[in-house]
Structure 1
C-alpha cells in the first residue's frame, strides 16, 4: 500500500462512520465495519471499550431525534511497513432535540483523534477520542425513552 492509498481509505472510513452514526442503522454487528473488537472510545459521554463503547455511542445518539456529523481536514499518518496508523480531523456535529425547545439544536465543534489497525477487511479504528472545542445550545438532559 502507498501513503496516498492509506490516506484515501482512512478518509473514506471516517466518512462512512459518520454516515452510519447519522443513518442510525444499528443492526447487530454494525460497528465491525468501523471498529476493532477491542476499540476504545473516549467522548464527553464517557470512556468505554469494545461492545460497551458501541452501546454507549448508540445510546448517546438516540438521545436526539436526528444528528448530522461533518468531517473535514482528515490528516493521517500510516507507519510504512506496519499495520498501524493515526488520524485526526475536525468535526461539526449537529444534534436535533426530540422535544421542541427554544433552540432545537445542540451543536458541537470539535476534533477527533484516532488510532487505526489494518485488518484483513481493511482499516478499522482501534481507539477514538472526541475533543470538544465549543458548543451551542443545550445538551440533552435525560436518557431516551
Structure 2
C-alpha cells in the first residue's frame, strides 16, 4: 500500500533529480542522492549501469546549452514490506542547442529539440530514503532535431 508519505518522498526525489540534471549539479557523488549504486538506465541513446549510467547522462546533457525537464502526473506503487516501489510519470523535456550547432545547421535552424514522453522507475528504500534503481524513458513524440551523435 502506498502511503502519502511514500508518494511525496518519491515525487520529490524525481523532481529534485530532474532539477539537478537541468542545473548540471554534477559535483562528486551527486547521483548517490537519487540513485542506487547499481542503477540501470535505458534512454533513446542507450543503456548503462551504475556510475557509467550517470556519466552517460552527463555526456548527453553536455550536447545542449540548456535543458528543462518537467515531470507531472507521478504514479507510485509501494511494496512497503519489501522496501520496493515503482513509479511512472509524464515528462516534457526541452533541449536548447548550442550556438555552434545552430550555426552549423544554418539560418532558420530550430534552437529547440523537444521530447514528450514518460518515464518508468523502480525504487528501493535504503538507509537514506528512496533511491531509483532502474529507470527508462519512452519518447512518444519529438519536435526539432537532436544534435548529431559522435
TM-score grouping bracket, smaller chain normalisation: over 0.9
Unaligned segments of structure 2, at least 5 residues: none
Identify, as 1 or 2, the structure richer in helix: 2
2:30 corresponds to 1:30: yes
Residue of structure 1 equivalent to 2:136: 129
Unaligned segments of structure 1, at least 5 residues: none
Q: Bigger radius of gyration, 1 or 2?
A: 2
2:147 corresponds to 1:140: yes
SS in structure 1 at match of 2:81: coil
- Tell me the alpha carbon deviations over residues 45-80 of structure 1, each in whole angstroms, 9 at most, x when there is no partner: 100100000000000001000000000000000013
Residue of structure 2 equivalent to 1:54: 54
2:83 corresponds to 1:83: yes
Question: Between Structure 1 and Structure 2, how many residues are aligned?
Answer: 143
2:19 corresponds to 1:19: yes
Using structure 2 for the length normalisation, give the TM-score: 0.92
Distance 1:121 1:2 in 2: 19
User: Per the alignment, do residues 2 and 142 of structure 1 end up closer, same or farther by CA in structure 2, a change over 3 Å counting?
Assistant: closer
Structure 1 residue runs of 4 or more that deviate by more than 4 Å after TM superposition: none
Residue 82 of structure 1: how far off its partner (Å): 2.1
